[in-house]
Amino acid sequence: MTRKEKYAYILQYFRKQMPEVQTELEFGSVFQLLVAVILSAQCTDKRINQVTPELFRHYPDAKAMAKAEAEDVLEYIKSVSYPNSKADHLVRMARALMERYGGEVPSDMNQLLDLPGVGRKTANVIQSVAFGKSTMAVDTHVFRVSHRLGLVTKNDDTPYKVEQVLVKNIPAEDIPRAHHWLLLHGRYVCTSRKPHCGKCDLKGVCPSATLSSSGGGTDSQL
């Protein structure tokens, strides 16, 4: 099977299995989505959804959060990973939004990347989920699944390289959903340490599943 055929097969599978798919983060505005995505770095969506309701009750928008201090925000996000740095990022991000964009979240990549706490993955999520752009956010799940399925090569050893290959090979109209397809597959099926190859419908085209069944194992680092 060529790489083009593999992409076609895998994408068609996901189109049938998850025709309608979206982020599992809960939010009520683009600003709240940005906050949730910043908080979700190296943390589960489940945990973020547990802390954001109270956080958003006190700071529903950039205007409210810009008036807070980092220690105020910290009280509501203590249970997430790296709470101190994230609290600082959120307050500075909200102030930047007020100063530069009247409290509105921009859709431009460079403008997003200039915001405190916003990296390329976060910017891509905002562009895709909030603004419907064909951008591919590569988190640990997308990175791992892309390698295991053979959608990218070992030489594609950074999130940016993986992003570039995926965007090149996935039709633009599928890219916003493809991020979620790969992410959810990695979260619930192709998990890091113990992938559930036995219940994976893609095992027939997955080189990692072939290695696993032959005793070679699956690289838990991907």
Fold of domain 30-131: Endonuclease III; domain 1 (1.10.340)
CA distance 116 to 146: 29
pLDDT in tens, 7-26: 999 999 999 999 988 899 99
Domain 136-213 matching CATH 1.10.1670.10: the answer reads: yes
| Interaxial angle between packed helices 3-17 and 159-169, expressed in degrees from 0 to 180 and rounded to the nearest 10 | 80
Mean pLDDT in residue range 59-80: 97
Catalytic residue from among 6, 86, 121, 203:
121
pLDDT in tens, 74-100: 999 999 999 999 999 999 999 999 999
pLDDT in tens, 111-136: 999 999 999 999 999 999 999 999 99
Are 132 and 176 in contact by the 8 Å Cβ rule? The answer is: yes
* pLDDT band per the 50, 70, 90 thresholds, residue 59: very high
Per the annotation, the verdict on 121 as an active-site residue is: yes
Model confidence at 220: pLDDT above 80 = no
Where are the CATH 1.10.1670.10 domain residues in the chain? 136-213
Catalytic residue from among 6, 139, 156, 203:
139
Per the annotation, the verdict on 203 as an active-site residue is: no
pLDDT in tens, 166-205: 999 999 999 999 999 999 999 999 999 889 999 999 999 9
Instruction: End-to-end CA distance of the chain: give it in Å, rounded.
Output: 23
Where are the CATH 1.10.340.30 domain residues in the chain? 30-131
